[in-house]
Amino acid sequence: MISRPRGRRLRPGVEPLDDRCLPSGFTPAQIASAYGLDSIAFSSPSGATVAGDGSGQTIAIVGAFHTPTLPADLDVFSRSYGLPEPKLQVVNLAGSKTNAAWASESALDVEWAHALAPGASLLMVEAKSDTQSDLMDAVNLARNIPGVVAVSMSWALPESAGQKTLDSIFTTPAGHVGITFVAASGDGGASGGAVYPASSANVLGVGGTTLTLDASGGIQNETTWADSGTGLSTITAKPAYQRTLQKTGVKSVPDVSFLSDPDTGVQVYSTPPGASTGSWQVVAGTSMGTPAWAAIVAIVAQGRALEGKPSLDGGSQTLPLLYALPSSSFNPVASGRPGKSTAVNLAAGLGTPRGEAVVRGLVSVASTTASAAASPATHQPTRMGPAVLSARAPRRPTLVRRQPTPPPRPPVNHPARSLRRLAATARVGRVDSSSSFW
């Protein structure tokens, strides 16, 4: 029998509040402004000015289990912040199976993809379960749906050598528009090491930061979040695009970063399975940065489409182009550790986006033939068969109930709990009884 690695699920820390009052986390307008995503504009072929909001593009989001209230929750979120009516399609592979922790995750993903790319269409693919096999089935389905330009994956698995055979899933299928795959770097800090699929050379891995805004809404300070997943891959050789970043011989994770610290979290509206009403929550984790970067990819694809250019493939185009951008295209992220130099902070990758510069940089390039990796990735076909890695249903996140608060003001500071992760050990065909949480 083949022993499989333990699986981890990223779960947002949540802070439920009275649903008549918005929580103290950052709003869509604050985050869009801080990262320069609120003023991007393109020119149409007729010369008209077009808002850079992802219009005409589709973001696929891969989660697990069914969330019946997801469309209604997204509608509440969108109306509360004056966003355009969302265009959401749900592909339910889970049937009637629900899960409270994954419901919170799905709400975070669709709401913040919509918040930062409000013109984009959203495709929520709900995997049958949170096993590795079922999640990969869902990714494979998502990448084959016409029009998808980004696939967002706010989950992670410990690395194992067998995952190299899965790398081909994170590539654009023949005849499809270019797809960039985006994954969270995890919430285990440096001790957790690199996780998959963020460690794949074909995937844009997203780490996390602690963000403080000044009175005008600009970034006052940004440091690496202490629990942001970071490390060197044990299975992926250093991609060619990282040759000037580090000299270890293997891929370092993450590639980029975004707000993730629960103490500077964002606002989400979510209804637990079986509940009749939802509530506002403050949510964070590297799960937040994943749909945010997928939204940026959608805005880039919109700009390229307006110039008659195709969307980009992640491993062979988006990643090499990001690493080739000037350092001024990213906000520098301090290490957060006294006495440590911020010149090269591998725990933050390239840094967080300066929206206008990143988008313009990726839109302006006509094409690229850059190699996705220093060593060719394994592209042998992968059979999507029965689950080989199983996990017990995660417990509900730790909750902190608070009194209603006034409208949010930057900077934000509240005692929301950090992300928890589900861990399980499995062998083929059965769940190991030693499964545990930490």
Tens-of-pLDDT digits for all 438 residues of the chain? Answer: 222 333 444 544 333 333 333 457 999 999 999 999 999 999 999 999 999 999 999 999 999 999 999 999 999 999 999 999 999 999 999 999 999 999 999 999 999 999 999 999 999 999 999 999 999 999 999 999 999 999 999 999 999 999 999 999 999 999 999 999 999 999 999 999 999 999 999 999 999 999 999 999 999 999 999 999 999 999 999 999 999 888 899 999 999 999 999 889 999 999 999 999 999 999 889 999 999 999 999 999 999 999 999 999 999 999 999 999 999 999 999 986 544 444 458 999 999 999 999 999 999 998 654 433 333 333 222 222 222 222 223 323 222 222 233 333 333 333 233 333 322 222 222 222 222 222
Does residue 181 fall inside a structural domain?
yes
Domains identified in the chain, total number: 1
Residue 197 has which token pair?
């699929």
336: alpha, beta or left? (left if phi > 0; alpha if psi -120 to 50): left
In sequence order, the β-bridge partners of residue 267 are 282
Residue 109 has which token pair?
């993903």
CATH of residue 208's domain is 3.40.50.200
Does residue 355 fall inside a structural domain?
yes
Kind of pairing between the strands at 352-353 and 330-331:
antiparallel
Q: CA-CA distance, 239 to 236, in Å (whole number)? A: 8
Does residue 14 fall inside a structural domain?
no
Does residue 112 fall inside a structural domain?
yes
Residue 34 has which token pair?
């801080």
What domain range is 321 assigned to? 25-387
Place of tokens 């589709």: 58
SS3 letters for the chain?
A: CCEEEEEEEEECCECCECCCCCCCCECHHHHHHHCCCCCCEEECCCCCEEECCCCCCEEEEEEECCCCCHHHHHHHHHHHCCCCCCEEEEEECCCCCCCHHHHHHHHHHHHHHHHHCCCCEEEEEEECCCCHHHHHHHHHHHHCCCCEEEEEECCEEECCHHHHHHHHHHCCCCCCCCCEEEEECCCCHHHHCCEECCCCCCEEEEEEEEEEECCCCCEEEEEECCCCCCEEEEEEECCHHHCCCCCCCEEEECCEEEECCHHHCEEEEECCCCCCCCEEEEECCHHHHHHHHHHHHHHHHHHHHHCCCCCCCHHHHHHHHHHHCCHHHEECCECCCCCCCCCCCHHHCCCEECHHHHHHHHHHCCCCCCCCCCCCCCCCCCCCCCCCCCCCCCCCCCECCCCCCCCCCCCCCCCCCCCEEEEEEEECCEECCCCEEC
Does residue 410 fall inside a structural domain?
no
Residue 368 has which token pair?
């690229």
In sequence order, the β-bridge partners of residue 156 are 8
Does residue 412 fall inside a structural domain?
no
Residue 274 has which token pair?
């079986």
Does residue 417 fall inside a structural domain?
no
User: What angle do helix axes 286-306 and 355-364 make, rounded to 10 degrees?
Assistant: 50
Q: CA-CA distance, 194 to 192, in Å (whole number)? A: 7
Structural contact between residues 333 and 222, judged by C-beta atoms closer than 8 angstroms: yes
Structural contact between residues 293 and 182, judged by C-beta atoms closer than 8 angstroms: yes
